[in-house]
Amino acid sequence: MLDPEKYENNKSVAARDAAEFVPKIIEIMEWKNNHENILDYGCGAGSTGYNFILPQVEKFESHLYSVDISEPMLEFARNKYSHPRITYGKGDIEKDFPWENVKFDKIFSIYVLHFISDIRNALKRFYNIMNPGGFFGFTLVPKSYYRTSFKILGESEKWKGYMKGYEDHILQWMEYEDGKGHEVITNILQSIGFNIVKLEVVQRSFQFNDMNTYLELYLSINPFLKSIPEDLHPSFKDDLRRYVTDFAGIPFDSEQIISKYEFVLAVVQKPQ
Ligand SMILES: C[S@@+](CC[C@H](N)C(=O)[O-])C[C@H]1O[C@@H](n2cnc3c(N)ncnc32)[C@H](O)[C@@H]1O
């Protein structure tokens, strides 16, 4: 189970990026019409949509549909970020999308698409639920210690019994040669029919002054934790700490860590 409270409390890095890049995505999209249908795909615990998309939705008297695959995330969002202009729904673009009859004019998806293994199929479906001329803006992380750690821990004797199916989280379409993520995603988007309005690779780093926050952020979105008995969680966290500190080349007991990562920021348009 994902942990919305932990995610919200520890998402400083994701919150910083959302505050900077959602307004940028909004600026790149064209806003001419009122009464649009806007989708926040993978809305998580709701704060990104509420804080950064909703003001624009209100300005254009539009409606925000916020969907996530995780019921705990949605429950948190419904409690904390409810609004007459937001409808929350549970679903997955590939299987059971909740609003089959709604066509969207804008789609946002912030730090979600790297959780989807069949990205071509998912992007085709996004294309199909958009109105002609609609915009789709997203950020995704093509390579991250988060997913590569699944391989190390998922193959270890100690954790493999609890991490069955970890291979499904290693995304074949991204985990290949370094630095080519944007080319792969560009080709897929164009082959589906999207026009690329903007697609850039952004290099970032974020200093965590408290290693615990860093580890808790990871754990809050780790899909395997629910299979691991609670009394083993401290040991799992220790092994994770070993992995990330080795990866960063710093001592195991370091309290600070600089997380270096890159992400793809894209705004694409369905032709008129
Ligand atoms: C890193 S969080 C980002 C949440 C939110 N966009 C934000 O900016 O805080 C990723 C979210 O994607 C959701 N997610 C993962 N796979 C998904 C899928 N296939 N369909 C919908 N949501 C998904 C997770 O449940 C989680 O809430």
Do the Cβ atoms of 149 and 171 come closer than 8 Å? no
In DSSP notation, 92-156 reads -TTT--S-TT--EEEEEEES-GGG-S-HHHHHHHHHHTEEEEEEEEEEE-SS-HHHHHHHHHHHS
**What's the burial of 165, exposed, middle or buried (CB within 10 Å: 0-12/13-18/19+)?**
exposed
Do the Cβ atoms of 225 and 268 come closer than 8 Å? no
Ligand 1 centre to CA of 115 (Å) is 8
Cα separation, 230 vs 209, in Å, equals: 26
Q: Ligand 1 pocket by C-beta < 6 Å: which residues?
A: 2, 14, 18, 42-44, 48, 68-70, 73, 92, 110-112, 115-116, 221
Cα separation, 243 vs 257, in Å, equals: 13
1, 9, 69, best to mutate for ligand 1 pocket (most atoms within 8 Å of CB): 69
Do the Cβ atoms of 268 and 202 come closer than 8 Å? no
Q: Which atom of ligand 1 lies closest to the CA of 116?
A: 19
pLDDT tens sequence across 134-165: 999 999 887 777 777 888 899 999 999 999 98
How far, rounded to the nearest angstrom, does the alpha carbon of residue 212 sit from its chain's CA centroid?
21
| Among candidate residues 159, 176, 157, the one with its CA nearest the CA of residue 240 | 159
Ligand 1 centre to CA of 42 (Å) is 4
The residue whose C-alpha atom lies closest to atom 10 belonging to ligand 1 is: 112
Cα separation, 185 vs 264, in Å, equals: 9
The residue whose C-alpha atom lies closest to atom 1 belonging to ligand 1 is: 111
Ligand 1 centre to CA of 251 (Å) is 32
pLDDT (0 to 100) of residue 1: 47
50, 68, 109, best to mutate for ligand 1 pocket (most atoms within 8 Å of CB): 68
Comparing 180 with 122, the larger pLDDT belongs to 122
pLDDT tens sequence across 197-232: 999 989 888 888 899 999 998 898 888 998 999 999
The residue whose C-alpha atom lies closest to atom 14 belonging to ligand 1 is: 42
CA distances from 105 to 35, 144, 267 (A): 10, 31, 13
CB-CB neighbours of 235 under 10 Å: 12
Q: Which atom of ligand 1 lies closest to the CA of 18?
A: 8
CB-CB neighbours of 190 under 10 Å: 12
Ligand 1 centre to CA of 107 (Å) is 14
Residue 200: strand pairing partners: 265
pLDDT higher than threshold 50 for residue 76: yes
Q: Which domains does the chain have, with CATH numbers?
A: 4-143+172-207+260-269 (3.40.50.150)
Name the pLDDT band for 175 (thresholds 50, 70, 90): low
CB-CB neighbours of 114 under 10 Å: 24
* DSSP summary character for residue 167: G
The residue whose C-alpha atom lies closest to atom 26 belonging to ligand 1 is: 44
Which structure tokens are listed for 204? Answer: 């970032």
Q: Which atom of ligand 1 lies closest to the CA of 44?
A: 27
* DSSP summary character for residue 34: S
Ligand 1 centre to CA of 153 (Å) is 22
pLDDT tens sequence across 17-50: 999 999 999 999 999 999 999 999 999 999 999 9
Ligand 1 centre to CA of 112 (Å) is 5
Which structure tokens are listed for 122? Answer: 């998912």
Least confident of 120-124, 164-168, 194-198: 164-168
Cα separation, 93 vs 116, in Å, equals: 10
The residue whose C-alpha atom lies closest to atom 15 belonging to ligand 1 is: 115
